[in-house]
Amino acid sequence: MNDTPTVDDRRNQLVDRIVADRPLPAAVERALRTVHREEHLPGLDPADAYTDQAVTIKDNPSGPQPLSCASVPSVVAMMLAQLDAQPGEHVLEIGAGTGYNAALLAELVGPEGEVTTVDIDADVALHAREALNRTGYERVRVMERDGLRGAPEFGPYDRMIATVGIWDVPAPWWQQLADGGRLVLPLRWRGQTRSVALTRQGGRLVSDGMELCGFVPVIGQNGERTAELADGTIRLHYDQDQAVDSGLLADVFASPFTEEWSNAHVAGDESFDGIWLRATAFDDSVCRIEVTQEALGQGVRRPAIPVRSPAVVVGGSLAYLIVQRDDDTAQRPFRLGAVGYGPDGPDLARRLVSHITAWSQDRTAVPHMTVLPAGALLDDLPAGHGILKEDCRIVLDYERNSA
């Protein structure tokens, strides 16, 4: 008797694991069990196609991140649940990837619906086209196109979804999403990324949920900046509207540091990214710090996560999130705090601790987000904390979501 799982077994086992962690709409679960991911990843062992991991399909010769990859299946499922595509709808996907997500969308909208997927890279678009043809989804429209332009000739769309990281909501998308239509995108601000579900209500987009995620950034948006410190062993990643001056911070890590500790504790497998999210809704100084092993070896205080921890930066001082094991007998043995460098480091560390404390009082809360075109009148802005990008304004508000 051969007990080796078949490809179908592996597909269903993966979906079983995803559903056990996060209940899905029946239509999304059915699509995941129907579409053959391995057919979109030729040359890969089918067993590897059904692990909950991303798979690179095109490397980037000029950087560490791939040009294109097949997204983590559980993230694909989460975003499709956010999108809530219905039979007969017209859907636009930005980022064709392997064509796998477009095939799932085709299952969701059915034969009466339409799916258009676009990708700026000719090789990626061709890969998607061939995979979709091979698996019986010839009706999906694949276009080699800058996704920031969308595909107005086939709009308006009931649903739009981006499967690449987006720093700004491009102006052309506003005209292509029908009023009442839904947009799901991995939106990046202040160094962190959330998959945000937005519904168009006239001249604005309003959220009803956001989830932590990470995606390869879209080509053509350059709103994030990087400041290299300590001979390039430490990097700050910040938005173009933030006043970060690397010259003022040149010697900041040569100064003594100050630690401040909160009363908040976490378990080893407990996410604390909500601290970062909450801080962005109140504090314009929040960005991301990346500390290399070389810097750690030179005595720089270890961030909570060396490659991606929230920091606050003002002038020639900064502070960032740290963690230490506090009580091995407790259910949550790790204590959260902040370390500050520079003359105002202690004050900034206390500021970050205040964000930790606020998060700890309601760890699952997420802000309400309103997105408006960049030219929207100030009188039209809802109450909350505003972040200005090139093509849009974002307003974040925790009070509204807790009401």
Catalytically active residues are 71
191: left (phi > 0), else alpha (psi -120 to 50), else beta?
left
Residue 283 corresponds to which amino acid? D
Strand partners, 199: 182, 206
Cα–Cα dist 344/176, whole Å: 47
Tokens encoding 172: 């052309």
Residue 132 corresponds to which amino acid? L
Cα–Cα dist 118/69, whole Å: 15
Peptide bond into 156 cis (omega under 30): yes
Cα–Cα dist 265/330, whole Å: 9
Residue (of 365, 363, 235, 366) closest to 308 by Cα position: 235
Cα–Cα dist 226/76, whole Å: 29
Identify the residue whose tokens are 């974040």: 396
Tally Cβ neighbours within 10 Å of residue 367. 23
Cα–Cα dist 166/183, whole Å: 12
Residue 74 corresponds to which amino acid? S
For residue 60, give the DSSP letter.
-
Contact indicator for 338, 313 with CB cutoff of 8 Å: no
Contact indicator for 198, 220 with CB cutoff of 8 Å: no
- Beta-strand ranges (E) seen in 2-78 are 55-58, 68-70
Strand partners, 224: 239
